[in-house]
Amino acid sequence: MADPTIPVTAPGTTGAPVNRGEAAPANKGELFTSFDVDAFEVPSSREEAWRFTPFRRLRGLHDGSAKADGRAVVTVAGLGDGVTVDSVGRDDPRLGAGGVPFDRIAAQAYSSFTEATVITVGREVELGEPVIITLEGPGVGTTAFGHVQIHLEPFARAVIVLDQKGSGTYAENVEFIVDDQAALTVVNVHDWADDAVHVAAHHIKVGRDAVVRHFAISLGGDLVRLSPLVRYDAPGGDVELWGLYFADAGQHLEQRLLVDHNQPNCRSNVVYKGALQGDPSGDRSREAHTVWIGDVLIRPEAEGTDTFELNRNLVLTDNARADSVPNLEIETGEIIGAGHASATGRFDDEQLFYLQARGIPEDQARRLVVRGFFGEVIAKITVPELRDRLAAAIEHELEISGA
């Protein structure tokens, strides 16, 4: 490893170099990025970006001890005219156009994948049906790394479902490149088996007057950590990030996002909602833990920005912990609006009383409250079959909790 007092640079490096031991970057958007895993120090819990993540459960993804000994299987269905799918190697010049790894695990994933999937929706192509990307984990006790790029050329419109399930340990980079005046809706479902560990970096590049609707649905897995990074490539971009997560006893679900407003007259709206149910016996190993970190940066050149972020968490049982940290960094006063809100609590007693007073039994009343809590997010998903599936999954979680 390099001398910790020397700034580190590497081929494929962008942004300010890591200057270990020196002053912190000027703002949260000044991330060191590199395709070279050795350009990054092994992370520690003393770092803000990792302080909530239980390293012992990462199975070596963070320190290089996790070796690829399995293979995740990617299949693509629902292709229409004007859509291409390519399986490519790391030398394909298209890879990295959406963003460069910004932490060690993302760089490890880029250095270790054997085959990337590139999906391109051609110029002015409008898809009437969603493209379904299904990823099956490498299997119990095995590790794999992956890379997916989704590229919408100018004026294209598409709905993409990225459905991830199965077992094993999996780290990946996913690039979303949305060119000028294109519109992408992507729904990423983490429906992993109970043993799975999944760490993902999402790189979202937004063109002039482009529209992105990004949904992150985390239901399964032992540990899931998702890090979406949004950067605008030109003025007029419009991004909404929607999230839904439901943590059971023993699960760690972490959402850590950054929206970097680096262009004028762009918009962002973030809404993430989560529910938690731990083991009421008090066994700390069976605690349900969720983490939501929402960073929004408005740079000096980003005049005319309009942004808001919201995180709400509903605690269903004892032995459940929700960490929620919204951060808003504003470097110009010439904006339309900016704000954030966060709330964590148990059932609203007034809502329960209202429903029970109208003859609804308590258990049914509690379920209605939870369904209503998640309803805003589910209603925004434009794929009916997926809405039904998520509603059924939440109903199953409520049956487990006895709510």
Query: CA 73 to CA 197: how far, in whole Å?
Result: 16
Task: Say yes or no to pLDDT of 123 above 60.
Answer: yes
The pTM of this model reads 0.92
Nearest to 29 by CA among 334, 340, 341, 327: 327
Mean pLDDT for all residues in the chain: 91
Tell me the Cα Rg of the chain: 21
At 105, the amino acid letter reads I
Q: What is the pLDDT of residues 257-276, one digit of tens each?
A: 999 999 999 999 999 999 99
The CA distance from 154 to 82, in Å, is 13
pLDDT of 3 above 60 = no
Cβ-count burial 245-280 (b if 16+ within 10 Å, e if not): bbbbbbbbbbbbbbbbbbbbbbbbbbbbbbbbbbbe
Residue 243 pairs in a beta bridge with 216, 272
Q: CA 101, CA 79: separation in Å to the nearest integer? A: 29
Contact assessment for residue 155 and residue 122, using Cβ atoms and an 8 Å cutoff? no
| C-alpha span between 243 and 106 (Å, rounded) | 21
Is residue 361 a contact partner of residue 369, using CB atoms and an 8 Å limit? no
User: Shortest CA distance to 43 belongs to which of 114, 112, 121, 108?
Assistant: 108
Q: pLDDT band at residue 4, thresholds of 50, 70 and 90?
A: very low
Encoded tokens for 340: 């954030």
Q: Is the pLDDT of residue 348 over 80?
A: no
pLDDT in tens, 172-222: 999 999 999 999 999 999 999 999 999 999 999 999 999 999 999 999 999
Cα–Cα distance for residue pair 134/161, rounded to 1 Å: 8
| Predicted confidence (pLDDT) per residue in 213-229, tens digit | 999 999 999 999 999 99
Tell me, what amino acid is at 352? L
Q: How does strand 131-136 pair with strand 73-77?
A: antiparallel
pLDDT tens digits, residue range 233-251? Answer: 999 999 999 999 999 999 9
Could you state, in order of their start, the residue ranges of all structural domains in the chain?
Answer: 37-348
Contact 86, 147 (CB under 8 A): no
- AA letter at 394: I
Residue 40 has pLDDT above 70, yes or no: yes
Question: In the sheet that 252-261 helps form, which strands lie side by side, from edge to edge?
Answer: 83-88, 116-121, 143-152, 169-178, 197-206, 223-232, 252-261, 288-298, 320-330
Residue 271 has which token pair? 């809404």
- % of the chain at pLDDT higher than 90: 78
Q: Kindly give, in sequence order, each residue whose CB lies less than 8 Å from that of residue 203, ignoring residues fewer than 6 positions away.
A: 98, 99, 100, 173, 174, 175, 176, 229, 231
Q: Which of 73-87, 340-354, 386-400 has the highest mean pLDDT?
A: 73-87
**Backbone angles phi and psi of 379, in degrees to 5:** -65, -25
Reply yes or no on whether the pLDDT at 19 is more than 70: no
- pLDDT reported for residue 13: 45
